[in-house]
Structure 1
Amino acid sequence: MTTANAIQQALDQLYRTHVGPGDPYALVDFPDHANVGDSAIWLGEIAMLRGVTGREPAYVSTWHDFDAEAFRRACPTGTLFLHGGGNLGDIWPHHQQFREHILATVHDRAVVQLPQSIHFRNPDGVARFAGLAIEHPDFTLYVRDRPSLDFANAHLSCPTHLAPDSAFALGHQPRAPADCDVLMLLRTDDERRDHATIPSAGNTMVDWLEDDPDLPRAFTSQAKARVDRGLRLLSRGRVIVTDRLHGHILADLLGIPHVVLDNDYGKIAAYLAAWAGSERVPAIRATTMAEAERAAAQLA
């Protein structure tokens, strides 16, 4: 059983393996989209890196505005960290293409892929990524679950380690008063799974893929605004039903009892299996919408 304290220790060990006090570093693939979960990861990464090094990243970029010359001017030495999440594979190709570009072109320093879930729907992409990983002189991969670890050990010849999601570095979060009994945060994107039945009409159904209109311009301020939006949204429910991994993680940090369904390829169940027992509040797993609604009624 993995405790919440053990997760914090695992994250601390991960980051201290690659940076120390005062060390410069870069953090790239900023999530410039509305999905709250990726911004929660980013804030956790920044919190860990700032806590270890005592400084902000020397260079940051999105997947589409990385400038190799600007990167080397701003960060002539130090580790390049790739943002973690659930996009290593071919479901979200822009992020994978950027990752492969970094591995192909940045050979003059260590590259660290922060904790990811791996999923390739088309096996053709596996060999290309494996080739880039083995050709890089100093590439380390962290994964969030055991199926991803098994995949990496079978297909990739690079140091690979199991690590928790960096969003847990955010720690306990205060919650606002609830205004509904059951809030259902359900995916509406390419990882959505058919949960056999549609939710009952009386439940409040939402997703978190739409930004507020007054989003700040600075990267970390954007991430904070998105996470704040997600925390406000989740706080509405006395109980939450979700098929988003960070719906689970942020509900846990908020202290809200919740029911967890899976995404289309089993990412959430795999994560929960790897870090079983780390929940601060009740988290019931369900395989169908009907099961989830019954469990939510019990928690309520």
Structure 2
Amino acid sequence: MTSQSRPELIAKLNGMIHDCLKDYVSRDEPLAILDFPDIRNCGDSAIWLGEMAYLRDRFGKRPDYVSRLYDFSADELKRRVPTGPIFIHGGGNFGDIWVAHQDFREMIMERFPDRQIIQFPQSIHYSSPERIEQSKKAIGRHKNFVLLVRDEESKEFSEKHFDCTVRLCPDMAFAIGPLPERATQIPVLAMLREDAERVGGGDRKIPSDIPVEDWITESKRKVDIAKKLGVASAYLALKPSEVALRRLDAAAHNRFERGISQISRARAIVTDRLHVHICSLLLGRPHAVLDNSYGKIRRFMNAFSGGTDLSYKATSLEDGIEWARQQAAKGRVAEKEAVGLRA
């Protein structure tokens, strides 16, 4: 793959996103988005903000109904969105690792058999043949389900097992667009998973001078404050219909900013999180990429985002750290030269 500049890559992926979604969104028709990610993982908030940015920038739209897993109301959806598509938030929870989300997705298909349902881009992973069969039946009964996937392997799997429209689409976080440059504080940061998608167990051998972090720790108080401010902004704008949406948007912005502030401290990053990879591209930060438990990141890079010098497919944690150290050293030299030019 020929190396592309960061702006070229982001613009290209945004064009691909629009090509996949333009037939399912209308300026005049209401829409719903379900399964808002009210969780600590900053990557899910990045996806949500990309979904909102896409609707705003391409159509001047906001969703007319949003819900989380646990506060969904079929009656409220029907009242606010009597016609139009039902979207389900994207990510990496299609399959049987994060079963609550799959259960919810299949319940929506059952409850709304006559409505078009569009799944924002997902990575697909199943371990259980029984669960594959369950999903196959749910999709087959619905007949109007559109499945957007983030890699070729997910597309091949879905076309084999599911009777629905399947389209290859980049992750929605790219719709946020390039992020402005931020000052660095440390040479290298290791952002490594500590959840169900972590590869291997035991202690990782990481030099003591490299901070090891994940981005699933948050201040509940700060998120709650952000939500309250979001609600207040809706009332001040005299838009009661936006109360729930602004509350959730504010939480997503709070989490996203926390994640960006965390990774932007480093001149170079080592990670096994897909959205640290994506956000590093949006920031313009060099980063070495390992993989998660089922190959999600490499699959995505092979399909969309591997064509830039900013990312490096590391063969091991040690290899990734060595590459990141080299990039951090180059970044430090560039920073000194920039200071000299300004002086």
Do residues 159 (structure 1) and 187 (structure 2) align? Answer: no
Q: Which residue of 2 aligns with 1:261?
A: 290
Q: 2:163 is aligned with what amino acid?
A: S
Identity %: 40
Do residues 10 (structure 1) and 16 (structure 2) align? Answer: yes
Q: Which residue of 2 aligns with 1:240?
A: 269
1:179 deviation in Å? 1.2
The 5 A counterparts of 1:254-293 are 254-279=283-308, 282-293=310-321
Which is higher, the Rg of structure 1 or of structure 2? 2
SS in 1 for 2:269: strand
> What's the TM-score once normalised by structure 2's chain length?
0.84
Q: 1:214 is aligned with what amino acid?
A: K
Of the three residues 79, 88, 91, the one matched with 1:82 is 88
Do residues 202 (structure 1) and 209 (structure 2) align? Answer: yes
Which ranges in structure 1 are unaligned for 5 or more consecutive residues?
none
RMSD after superposition? 1.5
Shift in CA distance, 145/22, structure 1 to aligned 2, threshold 3 Å? same
Is the Cα–Cα contact under 8 Å of residues 10 and 177 in structure 2 kept in the other structure?
Answer: no
Do residues 106 (structure 1) and 125 (structure 2) align? Answer: no
SS in 1 for 2:136: helix
Which sits farther off after the overlay, 10-19 or 125-134? 10-19
Cα shift readout 1:261-286 (whole Å, capped 9, x = no counterpart) = 1001100000000114454x511111
Q: 1:150 is aligned with what amino acid?
A: E
SS in 1 for 2:178: coil
1:16 deviation in Å? 1.1
> What's the TM-score once normalised by structure 1's chain length?
0.96
SS in 2 for 1:176: coil
Instruction: Tell me the distance in 2 between the aligned counterparts of 1:228 and 1:190.
Output: 24
1:49 deviation in Å? 1.7
Instruction: Tell me the distance in 2 between the aligned counterparts of 1:156 and 1:199.
Output: 42
Q: Which residue of 2 aligns with 1:150?
A: 156
The 5 A counterparts of 1:168-179 are 168-179=174-185
Q: How many residues align?
A: 299
Q: Which residue of 1 aligns with 2:241?
A: none
Cα shift readout 1:134-175 (whole Å, capped 9, x = no counterpart) = 111311000000110111011111110100000000111124
Q: Which residue of 1 aligns with 2:256?
A: 227
Shift in CA distance, 204/197, structure 1 to aligned 2, threshold 3 Å? closer
Do residues 211 (structure 1) and 218 (structure 2) align? Answer: yes
Instruction: Tell me the distance in 2 between the aligned counterparts of 1:121 and 1:71.
Output: 33
Instruction: Tell me the distance in 2 between the aligned counterparts of 1:119 and 1:34.
Output: 22
SS in 1 for 2:187: strand
Question: Which structure shows the bigger proportion of residues in helix conformation?
Answer: 2
Q: 1:177 is aligned with what amino acid?
A: A
Is the Cα–Cα contact under 8 Å of residues 277 and 287 in structure 2 kept in the other structure?
Answer: yes
Is the Cα–Cα contact under 8 Å of residues 143 and 163 in structure 2 kept in the other structure?
Answer: no
